[in-house]
């Protein structure tokens, strides 16, 4: 009597294997985008999968992520240092990570004029005009000297023709002065 042959399942039929490969690929994409924390998360999931080969490869990349994060640790001693890092991200065009850092800062130091200014610049660079004007107005209310800085800041070139921007930077000269006391009638 012939024996029934049961089909041999390949590892690719295992949904856990497919998930491990997906996590490995997502980890590699995140590494290419220099999002090493995100990459670590995906690669750690791939290591826990059923495939030794995928786990070994993921482990190599995970070590690379860990080493990179240790070299470029984002531990900041002061809010100003953290802000400088966010500005450096803006300067290289990494607007997504710059926003993440500025949003963290705005929660840590909500009344910091420089954070409002940074958000205004980032919003302008990314085409969020209304948000840019709102943040710039807030920054100037906190520190009027920022009005002069914004006049020469190339990050705001997208707003140069906007009358609202002009009003913020060149207000009516009498608008900031307290009203003069009325002249008594006997002096008239």
Same domain, 22 and 67: yes
pLDDT value, residue 68:
77
Same domain, 95 and 165: yes
The mean pLDDT of 148-167, rounded to a whole number, is 93
- Residue 181 domain-assigned? no
Exposed, middle or buried, 36 (CB in 10 Å: 0-12/13-18/19+)? Answer: buried
Q: Check the CA dihedral 91-96-102-104 and report its sign.
A: negative
- Is pLDDT above 80 for 10? no
Same domain, 154 and 94: yes
- Residue 178 domain-assigned? no
Q: 85 is in which domain, residue-wise?
A: 79-169
- Is pLDDT above 70 for 133? yes
Alpha carbon distance 104, 79 (integer Å): 10
Q: pLDDT over 70 for what percent of the chain?
A: 82
Same domain, 121 and 64: no
- List the CATH number of the domain containing 88: 1.25.40.10
- Residue 97 domain-assigned? yes
Same domain, 57 and 98: no
Same domain, 63 and 120: no
Query: Is residue 49 left, alpha or beta, with left meaning phi > 0 and alpha meaning psi from -120 to 50?
Result: beta
- Residue 23 domain-assigned? yes
pLDDT value, residue 6:
52
Same domain, 34 and 58: yes
Please report, for residues 9, 48, 55, 74, the alpha-carbon distance to residue 36 in angstroms, rounded to integers and kept in the order given.
35, 18, 18, 12
Alpha carbon distance 129, 24 (integer Å): 39
Same domain, 88 and 164: yes
Same domain, 65 and 83: no
- Is pLDDT above 90 for 118? yes
- Residue 21 domain-assigned? yes
The total domain count for the chain is 2
Please report, for residues 4, 10, 50, 51, the alpha-carbon distance to residue 7 in angstroms, rounded to integers and kept in the order given.
9, 9, 20, 20
Residue whose C-alpha is closest to residue 169's, from 137, 142, 138: 137
- Residue 182 domain-assigned? no
- Residue 31 domain-assigned? yes
Least confident stretch, 117-121, 137-141, 177-181? 177-181
- Residue 176 domain-assigned? no
The mean pLDDT of 1-13, rounded to a whole number, is 56
pTM recorded for the entire structure? 0.57
Same domain, 114 and 158: yes
pLDDT band at residue 8, thresholds of 50, 70 and 90?
very low
pLDDT value, residue 179:
59
Contact 102, 119 (CB under 8 A): yes
The mean pLDDT of 11-32, rounded to a whole number, is 87
The mean pLDDT of 50-69, rounded to a whole number, is 86
């Amino acid at each position: 009597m012939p024996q029934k042959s049961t089909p041999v399942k390949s590892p690719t039929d295992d949904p856990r294997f497919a998930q491990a490969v997906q996590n490995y690929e997502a980890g590699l994409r995140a590494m290419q985008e220099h999002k090493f924390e995100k990459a670590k998360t995906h690669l750690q999931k791939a290591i826990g999968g059923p495939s030794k080969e995928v786990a070994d490869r993921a482990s190599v990349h995970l070590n690379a992520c860990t080493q990179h994060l240790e070299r470029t640790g984002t531990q900041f001693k002061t809010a100003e240092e953290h802000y400088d890092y966010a500005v450096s991200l803006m300067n290289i065009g990494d607007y997504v990570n710059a926003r993440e850092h500025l949003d963290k800062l705005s929660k840590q130091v909500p009344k910091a004029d420089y954070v409002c200014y940074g958000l205004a610049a980032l919003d302008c660079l990314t085409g969020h005009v209304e948000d840019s004007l709102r943040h710039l107005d807030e920054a100037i209310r906190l520190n009027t000297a920022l009005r002069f800085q914004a006049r020469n800041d190339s990050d705001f070139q997208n707003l140069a023709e906007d009358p609202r921007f002009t009003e913020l930077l060149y207000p009516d000269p009498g608008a900031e002065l307290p009203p003069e006391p009325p002249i008594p009638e006997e002096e008239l």
